[in-house]
Structure 1
Amino acid sequence: MIKVVFVDLDHTLLNNHGELSLKNFEAIRKYKNIVKIIIATARPSRDTRFLYDVLGLDTPIINYNGGLVHNYCTCYSTTYLDPIRVKEILENLPTYENLWIESANGPLMKRWDDDTLKWSRCGNVVPKLIKEISEVDFNLLHKILVSSSSDNNLLNALKNRLNKWLEILPDRINKAYGAEIVLKELRFSWEESMAIGDDENDIELLSLVKLPVAMPNAIGKVRKLSSLVVPSNGGNGVAEALEIVLGGKK
């Protein structure tokens, strides 16, 4: 029996415009007292607080792809980048176009562009502008996003695969790592778990749960390992999945 449901955020619980549909909202509110619903996302905690409160959740939440597990009152786990290693990585990048750095003390960035403006709006935060790497305190960093300039062939190859930005996370940190912490805290097992996702950062988690579920827009790897692919439904995929699995809908 499924007792825990891990739900990805972007392009899963939220639609392609970053909006929560009424059907997804109603489904989460309906089933949150029947199963433990856990949001698992790459986003920082400031981006998810409003949604967490609107949905009436009190369960742990996974931010930074597993780098932070908490419930806004209690922190169960936090993992930071190794300061020596990340300093070496950034100092040895030949060229890069922009940086977005998630620090426990607030975000930092090199310059404004369409993406950094969007991220700033999402979290209602104004990041600190930096001109040189030497301005960065490398302690207490959750993750770093790097976009490359046109002459950096290595980063260009990576960003083409990862939608422009290269994400740097602590070693061995992913959503499955965060989910393991959640399951231990709630005293449930992988055999009692379901996960819903669509992209590369969901693969480790989907590979471990009893019931992996893919969105209709999911990449091939996610669809291939999933037991259920919900039909195309205009951004209501989470509601559809919950009704099929928990509500007995055919």
Structure 2
Amino acid sequence: MIKMVVCDLDGTLLDKNKELLEENVEVLKTVQENGVVLVLATGRNMVGLEHIYSKLGMDTYNNGYLVTVNGLQRYRFSDKQVIINEGLTRADVTVVKQAAAKLGYIAFAFHDNASYISGGRMIHWIMNNSFLQKRLLSSGYDGRLPSPRFSPYEESFDGVTKMCVQCPTFFLTNSKKVRSLLKDYSVMTVSPGWYEIMPHGINKSDGVKSIMEELAIDPEEVLIFGDSENDLEMLKLTPNSYAMDNAMDMIKEVANHTISSHNQPGIGQVILEQIKEIR
């Protein structure tokens, strides 16, 4: 019997326009009504997720969880408890900035309410211009930075939850070079030229696993859906793992099943097949 459903957001539960498909919304509401635990596991932080979890009814059913910043933070709706692991230090920020500079990449430092962008005022101007973003930057960034600002980081070293490095299209290099410069960190490819940098050992699977243990849910009782490298470890937690058709090849190799792309309601269809008693 399925007791928990875990969904990544970008490239998985959200379509190409970063919207929820109504068919999936209805199914996910129905399973929550029937006591199934819904977990959203994302690289995003909690700021800006309210329109997503509210549409899914998670703040109404109050039995779900958020695993955010690739497992660095966890939120429980039942008692509004936030659990936060240690983020990146000042020294870490400096290391990532230096690696990005060597590659000719842009570095981002993420805080709960703001993002700081390296690379000078020209880069800052590009990052605030959606037309230029789409033409000059690799495909990973889509305008989701919370309150982006230019900064040399001096006023904001502390409290960094994660960092990202992204290339201008003309500087695109292979991931081996990025990983060699940042070998002491968890480096996760989101898309070509877009990498999320986390403290070593932090990933979504830790947050999902802790929820399973807290609720005494077995691996066979969980459905997990994902598409990118930051979903890889959590997909290994259950035999009921699903890669989207638009997923990276490494994800399709790890997942036990591949379903339709994030632009189609494949998640809802799988859930209906697996949880027949809600029909």
* TM-score, with structure 1 as normaliser: 0.83
- 2:107 corresponds to 1:99: yes
CA–CA distance in structure 2, aligned partners of residues 3 and 68 of structure 1: 22
Matches within 5 A, 1:1-250: 1-34=1-34, 35-57=36-58, 58=62, 59-71=64-76, 73-91=80-98, 93-94=101-102, 96-104=104-112, 106-110=114-118, 111=124, 112-113=126-127, 114=133, 118-120=143-145, 125-130=146-151, 132-133=152-153, 135-148=154-167, 158=178, 162-231=191-260, 234-247=263-276
Aligned to 2:161, what secondary structure does the other structure show?
strand
The runs of 5 or more residues in structure 2 that have no matched partner are: 119-123, 128-132, 135-140, 180-188
Aligned to 1:12, what secondary structure does the other structure show?
coil
Deviation at 1:24, TM superposition (A): 0.7
Percent of aligned positions that are identical: 24
CA–CA distance in structure 2, aligned partners of residues 105 and 128 of structure 1: 11
Aligned to 2:48, what secondary structure does the other structure show?
helix
In structure 2, relative to structure 1, the CA distance for the partners of 1:152 and 1:199 (3 Å cut) is closer
In structure 2, relative to structure 1, the CA distance for the partners of 1:236 and 1:196 (3 Å cut) is same
Deviations 1:25-52 (A, max 9, x none): 1111111133111011111212321111
In structure 2, relative to structure 1, the CA distance for the partners of 1:97 and 1:48 (3 Å cut) is same
Conservation of the 8 A alpha-carbon contact between 1:175 and 1:201: yes
Deviation at 1:90, TM superposition (A): 2.1
Conservation of the 8 A alpha-carbon contact between 1:14 and 1:235: no
Deviation at 1:10, TM superposition (A): 1.3
Cα RMSD (Å): 2.8
Deviation at 1:163, TM superposition (A): 2.2
CA–CA distance in structure 2, aligned partners of residues 232 and 165 of structure 1: 20
* TM-score, with structure 2 as normaliser: 0.75
1:24 alignment partner AA: N
Aligned to 1:31, what secondary structure does the other structure show?
helix
Deviation at 1:198, TM superposition (A): 1.7
* Number of residue-to-residue matches in the alignment: 242
CA–CA distance in structure 1, aligned partners of residues 277 and 255 of structure 2: 19
Which stretch of the first structure deviates more once superposed, 94-103 or 169-178? Answer: 94-103
Conservation of the 8 A alpha-carbon contact between 1:13 and 1:237: no
